[in-house]
Amino acid sequence: MPRNKSQNQQLRDERREQILSQALMLFAKRGLAATKITDIADASAISQGLMYHYFSSKEAIFVELISRAFDRLNQACRWLEEQSMPPLEKITFALTELLKLLDQDEHAACYHLLIAQATASDAIPDEAKAIILRENTFPYESISRIMAAGQQEGTIKQYDADQLALIFWTSINGLAIYKAVHGTKYLAPNVEILVGMFQSNHL
Amino acid sequence: MPRNKSQNQQLRDERREQILSQALMLFAKRGLAATKITDIADASAISQGLMYHYFSSKEAIFVELISRAFDRLNQACRWLEEQSMPPLEKITFALTELLKLLDQDEHAACYHLLIAQATASDAIPDEAKAIILRENTFPYESISRIMAAGQQEGTIKQYDADQLALIFWTSINGLAIYKAVHGTKYLAPNVEILVGMFQSNHL
DNA sequence: GTCTATATCCAGATAGAC
DNA sequence: GTCTATCTGGATATAGAC
């Protein structure tokens, strides 16, 4: 019994996802240039030639991953802003979830690392650069708005909201990298330490 | 008039330093794999072939830079520990200096970025890995000791000192990367925000 | 010491057999 | 759809001229 079109398509999609998943790990750990297409093929347990039936090039895989990474991140930010929670609680919630992700969800941690790596590197495809340029500011602005709202309430410290957002994300990025390096030996820091940067003292 | 031996040696050393300096910038921005030896040669205004009179390989340059980066960092940590300053002041001083460095000293910022990049990447020479493994813990331990001393005094928050040290360095790393990416558009955050993570509230 | 020219190697991408 | 074999380009490293 031959498979029909939609079944074939589904199989193809699954394989694609599998390749993307393996590529994500490798790119996150080694970077784009140092990851060979054979590495991805080996990790995906397919031949190198077959890779080109699913993706037109190594760079195409990278670009798709970068695009997805920002989609996830920006969607999460949008969701957070929409919640009816006091601003300080949103910040605490976000930090808690991010630390949990880094600690427990290898896949999610790699997405975060990919963003950190890609934004830090000059040596990425132009298309990826364009995505970063377009999408990267949103998470900063989103957190900045929440910080500003918290300052109105007096629950968040009265520094420049953009600076607070900057430190929010750079701290998370730094932790993501540390986790990637030290793996097992990493023990997640107490969320309260991070929250302490933003929370007003006089509560 | 022919130059004597020591003059020749000096010239040679200067050229070597020049190459290292250019390589540092490139490695920090693009990573090891994505930096071609011709890039370094071009930036140093010498031919590609001549590179091999000064260094045996691209990797050798990288290893020397990593080694120097840790020498600088660890020496600075040692110096800080030796000062007769209250612990909290040491932390504030260190953060102030690090932010100033990131903001104003391109060269120093690249060293920091190189460490961040190299520790984050799997795709570096074994020799570089060995250096990182050997040298990387010192800065963490050093800051952790200062944190612990501050806790004894009651000037620093009573969280696990290792966690505080971890956050200290990962925050700086995150900022270093952000700075590298956004360059001109980066405005250094207020030191007090960072200090606020560590300083006891009841002062 | 410095350059140009060249050998070697390896990774990305393609072609063609099954 | 999947593999193996091959082409091609580019980067490292070397050799040899000046």
Render pLDDT for B41-69 as a digit per residue (tens, 0 to 9).
Answer: 999 999 999 999 999 999 999 999 999 99
The pTM of the full predicted model, rounded to 2 decimals, is: 0.94
Mean pLDDT across A95-116: 94
Residues in chain B: 203
User: Residue-wise over A122-150: b if at least 16 C-beta within 10 A, else e?
Assistant: ebbbeebbebbeebbeebbebbbebbbbb
pLDDT value of position B31 = 94
pLDDT value of position A159 = 97
Compute the distance between CA of residue B119 and CA of residue B170 in angstroms, rounded to an integer: 12
Give the range among A111-120, A182-191, B88-97, B187-196 with minimum mean pLDDT: A182-191
Query: Over the stretch A24-56, which tens digit does the pLDDT of each residue have?
Result: 999 999 999 999 999 999 999 999 999 999 999
Say if B203 falls within a structural domain: no
Do the Cβ atoms of B87 and B132 come closer than 8 Å? Answer: no
Backbone φ and ψ for A45, nearest 5 degrees, come out as 60, 40
CB B42 within 7 Å, strand D: no
Question: 């005094």: which residue's tokens?
Answer: B153
CA dihedral A112, A104, B198, A162 (to 10 degrees): 30
Compute the distance between CA of residue B166 and CA of residue A187 in angstroms, rounded to an integer: 10
Compute the distance between CA of residue B20 and CA of residue A97 in angstroms, rounded to an integer: 42
Residue A145 belongs to domain with CATH number: 1.10.357.10
Do the Cβ atoms of A131 and A69 come closer than 8 Å? Answer: no
Compute the distance between CA of residue A66 and CA of residue B138 in angstroms, rounded to an integer: 34
Backbone φ and ψ for A162, nearest 5 degrees, come out as -65, -40
Do the Cβ atoms of A44 and A61 come closer than 8 Å? Answer: no
What's the total number of domains in chain B?
A: 1
- On chain A, the residues whose CB falls within 8 A of the CB of B34 are 31-34, 121-123
pLDDT value of position A103 = 92
CA-wise closest residue to A86 among A163, A159, A149: A149
- On chain B, the residues whose CB falls within 8 A of the CB of A164 are 193
Give the nearest chain B residue to A179 (CA atoms): B120
User: Distance from B96 to chain A by nearest Cα, in Å?
Assistant: 15
Do the Cβ atoms of A27 and A62 come closer than 8 Å? Answer: yes
Are B196 and A197 in contact (CB < 8 Å)? Answer: yes
Say if A19 falls within a structural domain: no
Q: Which DSSP category does B190 fall into?
A: P
Give the nearest chain B residue to A165 (CA atoms): B189
- Residue to mutate among A91, A197, A198, A199, with most B CBs inside 10 A, is A197
Say if A31 falls within a structural domain: no
pLDDT value of position B119 = 86
pLDDT value of position A3 = 58
Do the Cβ atoms of B124 and B146 come closer than 8 Å? Answer: no
Structure-block tokens of residue B18: 């020049």
Residue B178 structural domain: 5-198
User: Distance from A179 to chain B by nearest Cα, in Å?
Assistant: 9
Say if A118 falls within a structural domain: yes
Say if A113 falls within a structural domain: yes
CB A37 within 7 Å, strand D: no
Compute the distance between CA of residue B66 and CA of residue B30 in angstroms, rounded to an integer: 15
Do the Cβ atoms of A110 and A28 come closer than 8 Å? Answer: yes
Compute the distance between CA of residue B6 and CA of residue B147 in angstroms, rounded to an integer: 47
Q: Which DSSP category does B156 fall into?
A: B
Side-chain half-sphere CA neighbours of A41 within 13 A: 15
**Helix B106-120, helix B161-182: angle, nearest 10:** 120
Compute the distance between CA of residue A134 and CA of residue A130 in angstroms, rounded to an integer: 6
Mean pLDDT across A152-177: 95
Say if B90 falls within a structural domain: yes
Contacts of B202 (CB under 8 A, 6+ apart): none
**Helix A87-104, helix A161-182: angle, nearest 10:** 20
Name the amino acid, one letter, at A62: F
pLDDT value of position A122 = 87
Distance CA A127 to C1' C10 in A:
26
B39: the nucleotide nearest its CA (via C1') is D11
Compute the distance between CA of residue B52 and CA of residue B38 in angstroms, rounded to an integer: 11
Say if A128 falls within a structural domain: yes
Name the amino acid, one letter, at B51: M
Compute the distance between CA of residue A95 and CA of residue B115 in angstroms, rounded to an integer: 25
- Residues of chain B short of pLDDT 50, as ranges, are none
Compute the distance between CA of residue B72 and CA of residue B112 in angstroms, rounded to an integer: 10
Distance CA A45 to C1' C12 in A:
19
CB atoms within 10 A of CB A23: 27
pLDDT value of position A9 = 87
CB nearest to B174's CB, from A32, A174, A180:
A174
- On chain A, the residues whose CB falls within 8 A of the CB of B171 are 167, 170-171, 174
pLDDT of A60 over the 90 cut: yes
pLDDT value of position A181 = 78
Radius of gyration, CA atoms only, chain A = 20
Say if B153 falls within a structural domain: yes
